[in-house]
Amino acid sequence: MPNTASQQQTQQPQLARRLGLFDAIMLVMGGIIGAGIFINPYVVAQSVHTPALIMGAWAAGGVIALAGAFIYAELAERLPKVGGQYAYIREAYHPLLAFLYGWVLLLVIQTGGMAAVTVTFSRYFIELTGLHLPEAAVAVLTLTILTLINCLGVRTGSTVQNILMVMKIGAIFLLVAAGLFFVTAPRIAWTPILDQPVKFGLLSDFGAAMVPVLFAIAGWQTANFAAGELKNPRKDLPRGLLIGVIGVIVLYMAVNFVCVRTLGASQLATTKTPASAVMSAAFGAKGATVIAFGIAVSALGFLSQSVLTAPRVYFAMAEDGVFFRAIGRISPKTQVPVFAIILQSIWTAVILFTGKYEQILNYVVTMDFIFFGISASCIFVFRRRNVGDAQHLMPGHPWTTLLFCCVCALVVVNTVLRFPANTLIGIAILFSGIPVFYLWKRARPA
């Protein structure tokens, strides 16, 4: 007689492998580029005050991001499983540590960021359309539409994400072209290179400038969440990571160059909307309207990518029996984890209505970089155990991997020193997951 249990297992719906290399590249770039690049240049200019130092901070951030891309490319080849960081930490260390990552991802990292980006999109949407609608209503409607799109299938969600990402790149190209060819009175001056002697104060200022840079250039890791839906994850995900991160570095450097060129270092530090200032200098009020549309599209594209990728972590947690069983169910019709997608959007809406998303963002940096460092260290474990094969190896390992982990640790330490209260709240949220994990393990049927 046929084995009934094995028949039921094979009949269970599985994630659909429908994404290719282009989709992977768009996921990587979409996970990094949000509305921040249109605003963050002024934050960096407040910490370092010469064009050389401003561009140097973004270049240093690009090098760190590229190192991260190589690390995650190797991890993706060695362990091409759904859930990305969650799967790496689980296999390298312990299911509890992996669960804690998924726990804070759902409670603060992903949903807090999504709530803030949703509000940003809503504000620009209302401003551009002139509609007299409550921000909360636009935000919830936007979340609902993106949730429904992604519940229709990974191919549908990825297509919408790709379209928004191409529009986002177009907006950045327009901004760069405006700053290069239509601003006739550039204010950039490469001397002096430094505005103070090379002492601890300069290093401290440069370190402070790196925090918003690293925050703006992080996000490549979210593409790894969807490894289970790539046609050839061992090949396409590593290539997508490297191509996508290099593309973002080029775009970010170009945006910051035109901001410094148009405004100068001192004016950039006082201009909270540098992208709008560049477009206004090039095309007047119409230019500011155009870039406002670009920022809205960029925010929407980031939100779309978040709705598509992160629920795969909660799905993997449920499959491991440490989360609600329903979250691990896949729709037989669309082959996506519908309940996981809906859960994330509901919690994002909860954060929206509490109005705590700005406070939650203060916890994100600490939590994000703690798990960046832990995930990167998985390479040491996987190489020692000979887990999988990888062609895209981290160059200069183990020293470069160790350096990346040290940078992550320094960001965490810097955030703890600057924002101790917020960090303690973030740590408390993290550790609150420990009893939850063991309760789920105890409730799990044998």
**Domain containing residue 433:** 20-443
The structure tokens 């002139």 sit at 130
Residues paired with residue 30 on neighbouring β-strands, in sequence order: none
In this structure, of 80-89, 394-403, 408-417, the range with the lowest mean pLDDT score is 408-417
Q: Per-residue confidence at 298, pLDDT binned at 50, 70, 90?
A: very high
The model's confidence at residue 401, banded by pLDDT at 50, 70 and 90, is very high
Q: Is residue 24 part of a domain?
A: yes
Confidence band for 8, pLDDT divided at 50, 70 and 90:
very low
Residue-averaged pLDDT of the chain: 89
In a domain, 394, yes or no: yes
Q: With 90 as the cut, is the pLDDT of residue 294 above it?
A: yes
pTM of the model: 0.91
Mean of the pLDDT values across residues 268-277?
92
Nearest-CA neighbor of 209 among 33, 418, 68, 16? Answer: 418
Buried/exposed 280-303: b ≥16 CB within 10 Å, e otherwise: bbbbeeebbbbbbebbbbbbbbbb
Residue 114 belongs to domain with CATH number: 1.20.1740.10
Burial class for 201, CB neighbours closer than 10 Å (0-12, 13-18, 19+): exposed
- Cα angle for residues 189, 250, 35 (degrees, 5° grid): 90
Tell me the HSE value of 230 on the side-chain side, using a 13 A CA sphere.
30
H or E element: which one contains 67?
Answer: helix 51-78
Q: How confident is the model at residue 445 (pLDDT cuts 50, 70, 90)?
A: low
Interatomic CA distance for residues 255 and 278, integer angstroms? 10
In a domain, 10, yes or no: no
Token code pair at residue 428: 């408390």
Task: Give the burial class of 364: count Cβ atoms within 10 A of its Cβ; 0-12 exposed, 13-18 middle, 19 or more buried.
Answer: buried
**What single DSSP character describes residue 40?**
T
351: pLDDT strictly greater than 80: yes
Q: Tell the burial category of 78 from Cβ atoms under 10 Å away from its Cβ (0-12, 13-18, 19+).
A: buried
The answer to whether position 8 is within a domain reads no
In a domain, 281, yes or no: yes
Residue 425 lies in a domain: yes
| pLDDT of 6 | 46
Residues 6+ apart with CB under 8 A from 446: none
How many separate domains does the chain show? Answer: 1
Q: Is residue 401 part of a domain?
A: yes
* DSSP classification of residue 12: S
Q: So what's the pLDDT on residue 249? A: 96
pLDDT tens digits, one per residue of 83-124: 999 999 999 999 999 999 999 999 988 998 898 899 889 999
Count the Cβ atoms, other than its own, within 10 Å of residue 137.
Answer: 12
Mean pLDDT over residues 158-181, rounded?
94
Confidence band for 126, pLDDT divided at 50, 70 and 90: very high
- Give the alpha-carbon dihedral of 152, 292, 242, 223, to 10 degrees: -30
Cα–Cα distance for residue pair 269/365, rounded to 1 Å: 22
| Structure confidence by residue, pLDDT tens digits, 299-328 | 999 999 999 999 999 999 999 999 998 999
**Residues 17-50: pLDDT tens digits?**
889 999 999 999 999 998 888 888 998 999 898 9
Q: Which residue has the tokens 């803030």?
A: 116
Is 40 inside a domain boundary?
yes
